[in-house]
Structure 1
């Protein structure tokens, strides 16, 4: 119908029928895409079918063709399965024909191969058929070469089927053949050649030959050994140096790395035979050039052991069988003896050997230190793991290594080899006679020594001892000479000037030789510092460094330590590390799970290892400097470690570290079972060891909490007063976290939540009788445990049962703690024996005989049977140790509250406080610390070191120690008796006499027993109580003398002006608006200024109960020093309330009267509540 409206636009149509009739465009596109995919799939299927059909047709065609060739070949040469060994050598055409169809997996082809090779008589040295054919060259040479390659391939297939006698017969003949061909064409002795020999040996070819014969070295056995030996030795006879080096490289890398050659090869063919037949110099030179890449690194310890066995084993007489083997090889027409003048053990052969062993260790260390690797050890058992967790890992590590590897590594510690190492380590490449080879050999010797110390823990002590005692051929001691060499290195020189150059050196690889020398010296010196006593150290002779050298060493180590703590991310993010998983933008999460293992370009060296080494040396040197200063005052401080204005940062680090440690403890407890039951098949690339995880964890802590790590490990870098301020901040933050900053608010909080804190106020309140301060305090507060650091309330009761007056504002707490210290540090109220013993200088330490003393006395008095008596003794000892724990809490509470107490502890005992974080009882105590324990004993042991043999015999000493103590004895007129107990210092020590050869061991064991073992239970209980109040990492900020200052105050002269500025006045003595002092107060300060130091301290103790000033000055005294008037009676003595540090001073009319009365009262000991 036509539209005549003039509108050309079509009329809109509205369809109400529902679903559209035409498909949308998207559906059409999807359908087209699916159709196209189906067509493509069909096309690919057709193409694949064609390829499969083609391959099958080709295979079928080859099979048919080869079958026809086999039939034709058999007819042409007259082969049949019964014709083995009956033919003459075949011509070139027959060989070429055989090589066309030969397949190692075809049993009949194996018969044909044996038929062909048997016709050549390769096992007959006098038959020169093969030699003539190979020397003629041309086509026959190529065919015999291809035949040898086919034979090698066949051997690889047959090596797993040695149970069959005929197979072993074939292998025997094939070995003779390939060895003769390889003797002419040594390039055939490649990786596959020695891999086949390795497989044959590993599958027990020689052992089968032995088992086949009832008599040792029977003919078959000898032929098998000869075949293997010939296959190894003849290819190594090339006269062309390049080819010879290549063959020796393959021999070392692909054969000598075979595990357990000591079981599969050397019992049949002794090492001595190989040493006589091989060119050891070429072998070592080739071994030093091989590249060990995974998985070859798994065989590195075996390669290392094989090289040591060949290079260092003593020359022993050969057995008749070995002589026969040697004669058979040396008489072979193709054998050429090595053209060397020196014997295997000569000095000239040591150079290549050291280089080779060093190179292998260096390559292996790069892999062994990765997070996915363990040390060079086999999977250990559950007991080995537990031993390592208990600190016995070094002793048991050798249990996880095969005996052969242990024995060969032990050869490296031989006197002659260590002597040569010392000569090489100390070689001077600047001398006119020196060459580049000498410098390379010196670097290799230093690298070898370092890698042995780093990679093999069970060798460390013995190797440390050998290197420490080593001298060069000129009689020069290794340690000082090595340090002189280290001094000349560029890294050491630049390290003295600042930390930036050290950082650059640690990140780069170019200075690896210098860092190797530095690390080697530091490792050996750390051992030497433990071995040397003060007498030897301060002699500055022989093995000891001079004062100037010590000053340089400490300066360098300070900068190195700073770098390893504050530049962790920079060092770990080194982008030059090959194959590294680190990048320049390394994150903290990456450091948390991995650590770089080639710091300074030295493989196997990590930041945690370097830090541990530095800390051990610096702490040891600082302890010696504290006993006998050899460095200038203030030399230990390091201005770069600026924490003066970083207290808040350190506090944050401390909280972060605590949270991280809590998380790690939870993870450790969750993963212990999984770790303990790790399957033995996990191997050295299994999960990381606990020790490595701990090192990585400490590395991560150092990266996020560097200041705190320095405070805990190297606190002497920071001024003592700064550390005391940090300590007080730690306490303050702990109080904030516990909500105990304000004691009154804390008590109100407990009262406002009676259900939540039911009985808490009662637990923190104690009624203390004056005559039983310690026992009442123990009964009232021991159950609190860690809660003892919270605010406590004390009510004193006098001898009449009346409660004493007192202000509970901290003063009564001070009086309470001081009273406990005065009472309990004198004797045990229960048993009447002293808790603490005194040194000759009247310094206290836990009574080491107390447990023996109490237990012996109880047994003597008990009328019970044995079992009941043992139960009684055990109960009493446990109660005694609980009291020691409580005493530790008392000292911890004093330190926590900032209350000084008048008690002085022995240095060796205080040293254990700062090492409580270590978790063991050793803490590095030695014979030098015995001086502070028992000077007479120390002096006697020093004399023992100088006695001759006759004098020592006259002393009749044995490896025992004697404990003498007194116990209550009602039968004795004096009421007590003396008992002496003898303790063995080592198993059967009473049967071992002390001689000049073992006297150093005796001195060490006796010192260890006196300082560590004896009284260990008492000391551990005390430290347990101390650490429940004061966090162990807080204590690690201080050494022993600083801890004494923290407990008892400053020993320096009293600053009266400081005391005057921080004194509070009461009563008529309060300062007026004009700030003028009362005349009596003015007289008091004039008197105090002119008093002698002892009198000043007596007055201070009279008022505060302590004769020393607070660590941070009198401004930190809590409560403040106060003076209040006590009337105008000039005949009255001054009195004090020591609980609040209050002096009650009458208004005297003259300075003379004031001084007389003040000193009389102070020396009379007037104190608490005496008014």
Structure 2
């Protein structure tokens, strides 16, 4: 039995016998064997080293002997040239020559002088090479050694530069006879030598010496001679090597083309052969930087203007022309065939560049976060990277020249038929692809290129936009996409596949995207006059109808089927994606949508939104599409409006939660004990994330449509969402239930005695706005909360009333009525009106107040305004801001007010506060402000030069405004202020060349600059109550409806259906109305529209029906009996929308009493 010591640790086992274990002998034997094996390996290695060293010593000794023998035989280095030359001496040199040895390089230079013994290097080399025996092979071996020596030579020393030029002179002659040996290594070595400073540029830039010019001549002939092979196959191969090994270099523009301009090479080379060789290259194997330099050099070869030649350039050209090995290239081809070759050559280059920037490899690197899904492009602006180098930028801008644009338009407008030649088809599709890629890849080109393409016409006078639309409407994708989403979705799911470059679907999408991009720009620059001319660049109504249908289906695809589009990924990328979906992969953005590099879902979405918004805005100004055409039945929002509102509020919170989840998961990348301890929680977390994804997949597309393309959804649905937004905001602030909120606030009065003072206002009838400003401005966005109003009549007595909403409506209506006056009788008004009596902020408000504050002089016309103090200006703008809060409060409470605003002003409500000051307002919107000015500016576009001169216009504009003047017989006086539209504008005359700028500046000044402080103050107040995001769902006419209700006739049947009866009028079991009630509805139906509205205002204080119908009126419209006295007038309690109607016995009496009471205009009182 063992004794338990109290410890669970195992006791130590100590061997005190001194005997070794049986296994110790085996360990010793194993160590001995290993030691002996190491010794054997060391012995074997030492034998090998000794053998190699002895071989090296012997070879060095032999080479040394050979060198001594060769030096003695040829007289090196004493003689200036070999005393005797033979194939044996050359073979001996090649056997021991080491290009890393300076002395051997000198021997190579020495032996090349042997070919000058007869005075003509080219003829000597030619004689040697013409012999197909040993001499030819030795010269080829010598050439390879010279290339190796060139690649290792330090060209910073004068001696080595002379040697390098001597080598190049020899090599150029050899390659002239043996062009098939001018491989990629030859041109790589040549490029490397140029980069190492083969010819000092400083000397050439100042005063080139004969030596420098001779060096340049050698460089020139070393490039040109190999490219002049008589054999077509050899010449093509050399051009391919030249393009891939030499032209794709970033340093040529400084190392070579700064010394020998490209125009010189254009005379000496076969540009046609150069372009054909480029089109056959494996450009996808080149890096992105090399492809762009190659592209820029090719453009320069074709389009760069030839500058007047300098004297040394003429010397170089003469030297080469007189050389016996020079062969004059073929006669230059015409510009049209040259353009076709260039377009076909440039497309693979841009395609390879796009593959580098947006291909699977690039995407696989950038897949971690949504912002990193698109790879960084070193030559594209806007990605936080430097602009393209100046040389590349300059060459790309050459493409904006008239010749290139005209050739492109000719190619695209010359629509090929199935019987067209292959070359014509290639040029047609290549031209479309080239223009689209230039617009996608280089943002600095976009504006100018858009302008040129918009204005461009073919030589037959055909507009590019018209031709492109004709082409896309013939495509299967567009024809089917007008009526169906399926074909569009299938096309967008295509991925880039090099083996399927001739697939017709990507070609169709190329034309479609190019048209959409140009059409988007055209909608920016075209005014309504040109757009609605339906000629030339504008589309006809039936074409616009098809285009809008296609764009609606395209928008549906990119919003509701985005997951299917994004999941279509190339095989290379699929292998690199994680197997489990996570935050990163869900938001990964493809950049080869529809099989085209650089096309992504966000790009398509932005383009589609821009065009649809522009067309809808024009349709809002002047209808060209039938009613209801913009609605999209496929977007089902039935029963989801409250979810959309909740998602808008929660979106930021969800994104924060997702990011926090991803960070916590990344922190726990390894398997730890904590992971196992929380294992039971992981399934719940995964289920929560999955449910969130499903929720967002269902709601987020609808929210995106609401925010960006709201006009695709019915107006009533959007109003419901708007009210849901407000209800959600009220719930967040705790003001959803007014009675409960007031009760809670009343219970808190003991702790916060100042609350009642904040939310309760004493309002005098004769100064409603001033009292409201004093009482409620300090609330800020707290003006959203319920407020209590006590009216004081003109006699100073308090008007009794129980506020069920009617007093608030009366208060807000009175506020709007007083503050929106346009008369100057009581001082400068906050608003002024257009010719159509539509209101907008008074642009001269601050100026008028300045004039009012100045001291009157005897001559009104010579008086000057005094500058308002900062305090006065601030107070005035705060009042305008409060006015914006009042309009916002009306919309927040669902109270309609009888005020109409100008369209251009309504357009700013949802845009300015989102960071866009002018919201794209232009001359077309000027029509809603000043029709006369708009007509004048439209006419100015068509005047001839003499008429414009007679008008004597300058870049200045006069501000005319009227103000009160007691000394004037009329009670008013008119003031004029001259404002420059640009610096010194009053001294710059308007001419035919700058009239478009004048029109633009006048429109911008009138719509955006003038009155900007007042407008921003109003919008600041409005946005503190109503979020601009909520208002972005509506256009200008819909916003007016949201403020003032419909102008459509009142629906008496709807009002009758949603009326509640009380007292004697309560409907009994027989479901029959009281006789007086029946008479009331008969009278209402036959009243004039104005009288109907008067009755409605008499009961509800608002003359217009609620936007969602009378079912949304709260409280409901009610009728209660008021006794049997037929001489008594009806009365109302507008606080609860109650009509107290006596029991009249005839319709005539009822009508007379009802209209009299409705038009009496009495205030609040108890009845």
TM-score with structure 1 length normalisation?
0.86
Q: Which residue of 2 aligns with 1:794?
A: 789
1:421 paired with 2:408, answer yes
Deviation at 1:920, TM superposition (A): 0.7
Taking the aligned partners of 2:855 and 2:435, their CA distance within structure 1 comes to: 58
Question: Which segments of 5 or more consecutive residues in structure 2 lack a partner in the other structure?
Answer: 363-372, 497-502, 662-694, 858-864
Taking the aligned partners of 2:28 and 2:1094, their CA distance within structure 1 comes to: 103
Matches within 5 A, 1:523-534: 523-534=517-528
SS of 2:1114's equivalent in the other structure is: coil
Q: Which residue of 1 aligns with 2:106?
A: 111
Taking the aligned partners of 2:31 and 2:988, their CA distance within structure 1 comes to: 91
Taking the aligned partners of 1:962 and 1:123, their CA distance within structure 2 comes to: 89
SS of 1:913's equivalent in the other structure is: coil
1:922 counterpart (918, 924, 939):
918
1:978 counterpart (974, 980, 983):
974
Q: Which residue of 2 aligns with 1:498?
A: 484
What does the per-residue CA deviation read over 1:124-149, in whole Å, with 9 as the maximum and x for residues that have no partner? 76542323323323444344333333
1:144 counterpart (139, 143, 149):
139
Contact 1:1103 1:1167 (C-alpha < 8 Å) held by counterparts = no
Q: Which residue of 2 aligns with 1:515?
A: 509
1:186 counterpart (179, 191, 205):
179
Q: Which residue of 1 aligns with 2:456?
A: 470
Q: Which residue of 1 aligns with 2:839?
A: 844
Contact 1:796 1:803 (C-alpha < 8 Å) held by counterparts = yes
SS of 1:982's equivalent in the other structure is: strand
Mean Cα deviation higher: 602-611 or 118-127: 118-127
User: Structure 1 pair 951/1043, CA: closer, same or farther in 2 (3 Å)?
Assistant: same
Matches within 5 A, 1:24-423: 54=48, 58=52, 61-62=55-56, 65-66=59-60, 68-78=62-72, 82-83=77-78, 85-87=80-82, 90-121=85-116, 126-158=121-153, 161-206=154-199, 208=200, 210-212=201-203, 216-259=207-250, 261-293=252-284, 296-343=287-334, 346-369=335-358, 371=373, 373-375=375-377, 377=379, 400-423=387-410
What does the per-residue CA deviation read over 1:363-421, in whole Å, with 9 as the maximum and x for residues that have no partner? 223334564644553889xxx97xxxxxxxxxxx9x93433333222221112221111
Taking the aligned partners of 2:1049 and 2:42, their CA distance within structure 1 comes to: 99
Deviation at 1:834, TM superposition (A): 1.4
Question: Which segments of 5 or more consecutive residues in structure 1 lack a partner in the other structure?
Answer: 1-11, 386-396, 668-699, 863-868
Taking the aligned partners of 1:479 and 1:648, their CA distance within structure 2 comes to: 43
1:438 paired with 2:433, answer no
Taking the aligned partners of 2:118 and 2:30, their CA distance within structure 1 comes to: 68
Deviation at 1:544, TM superposition (A): 1.6
Deviation at 1:911, TM superposition (A): 1.6
1:777 paired with 2:772, answer yes
Contact 1:1136 1:1170 (C-alpha < 8 Å) held by counterparts = no
Q: Which residue of 2 aligns with 1:640?
A: 634
Contact 1:366 1:598 (C-alpha < 8 Å) held by counterparts = no
Give the paired residue count: 1097
Deviation at 1:778, TM superposition (A): 2.8
Q: Which residue of 2 aligns with 1:7?
A: none
Q: Which residue of 1 aligns with 2:544?
A: 550
Deviation at 1:484, TM superposition (A): 0.7
Mean Cα deviation higher: 518-527 or 999-1008: 999-1008
Deviation at 1:1085, TM superposition (A): 1.1
Q: Which residue of 2 aligns with 1:724?
A: 719
1:806 counterpart (775, 778, 801):
801
User: Structure 1 pair 919/971, CA: closer, same or farther in 2 (3 Å)?
Assistant: same
Contact 1:1123 1:1145 (C-alpha < 8 Å) held by counterparts = yes
Deviation at 1:1098, TM superposition (A): 2.5
What does the per-residue CA deviation read over 1:907-931, in whole Å, with 9 as the maximum and x for residues that have no partner? 1111222434752123232222111
Taking the aligned partners of 1:327 and 1:479, their CA distance within structure 2 comes to: 49
Q: Which residue of 2 aligns with 1:625?
A: 619
What does the per-residue CA deviation read over 1:723-756, in whole Å, with 9 as the maximum and x for residues that have no partner? 1112222222222333321123334445667899
Q: Which residue of 2 aligns with 1:950?
A: 946
Taking the aligned partners of 1:1055 and 1:67, their CA distance within structure 2 comes to: 116
User: Structure 1 pair 1029/128, CA: closer, same or farther in 2 (3 Å)?
Assistant: same
User: Structure 1 pair 823/1127, CA: closer, same or farther in 2 (3 Å)?
Assistant: farther
Q: Which residue of 2 aligns with 1:883?
A: 879
1:539 paired with 2:533, answer yes
Taking the aligned partners of 1:967 and 1:31, their CA distance within structure 2 comes to: 120
RMSD across aligned positions (CA)? 3.9
Deviation at 1:55, TM superposition (A): 6.6
SS of 2:1103's equivalent in the other structure is: coil
1:460 paired with 2:442, answer no
Deviation at 1:975, TM superposition (A): 6.7
What does the per-residue CA deviation read over 1:684-728, in whole Å, with 9 as the maximum and x for residues that have no partner? xxxxxxxxxxxxxxxx99997211111111112111111111222
SS of 2:804's equivalent in the other structure is: coil
1:902 paired with 2:895, answer no
Contact 1:272 1:318 (C-alpha < 8 Å) held by counterparts = no
User: Structure 1 pair 56/1017, CA: closer, same or farther in 2 (3 Å)?
Assistant: farther
Mean Cα deviation higher: 140-149 or 631-640: 140-149
Q: Which residue of 2 aligns with 1:1062?
A: 1058
TM-score with structure 2 length normalisation?
0.86
Deviation at 1:13, TM superposition (A): 10
Mean Cα deviation higher: 987-996 or 744-753: 744-753
Contact 1:565 1:702 (C-alpha < 8 Å) held by counterparts = no
What does the per-residue CA deviation read over 1:319-341, in whole Å, with 9 as the maximum and x for residues that have no partner? 33222222222333333332245
Deviation at 1:1066, TM superposition (A): 4.2
Q: Which residue of 2 aligns with 1:450?
A: 436
Taking the aligned partners of 1:33 and 1:894, their CA distance within structure 2 comes to: 97
Deviation at 1:639, TM superposition (A): 1.4
SS of 2:482's equivalent in the other structure is: helix
SS of 1:705's equivalent in the other structure is: helix
Taking the aligned partners of 1:725 and 1:473, their CA distance within structure 2 comes to: 55
Deviation at 1:619, TM superposition (A): 1.4
Mean Cα deviation higher: 636-645 or 730-739: 730-739
Deviation at 1:1163, TM superposition (A): 3.5
Q: Which residue of 2 aligns with 1:744?
A: 739
Taking the aligned partners of 2:253 and 2:1100, their CA distance within structure 1 comes to: 77
Taking the aligned partners of 1:858 and 1:252, their CA distance within structure 2 comes to: 77
What does the per-residue CA deviation read over 1:457-495, in whole Å, with 9 as the maximum and x for residues that have no partner? 222222212212222222222211211111111211221
SS of 1:128's equivalent in the other structure is: helix
Taking the aligned partners of 1:32 and 1:760, their CA distance within structure 2 comes to: 96
Taking the aligned partners of 2:696 and 2:705, their CA distance within structure 1 comes to: 11
Contact 1:588 1:703 (C-alpha < 8 Å) held by counterparts = no
Contact 2:112 2:170 (C-alpha < 8 Å) held by counterparts = yes
Taking the aligned partners of 1:988 and 1:665, their CA distance within structure 2 comes to: 54
1:1029 counterpart (1022, 1025, 1032):
1025
User: Structure 1 pair 1138/953, CA: closer, same or farther in 2 (3 Å)?
Assistant: farther
What does the per-residue CA deviation read over 1:200-256, in whole Å, with 9 as the maximum and x for residues that have no partner? 3344444x2x43469523212212322222222222223344443343234334433
Deviation at 1:349, TM superposition (A): 0.8
Deviation at 1:796, TM superposition (A): 3.4
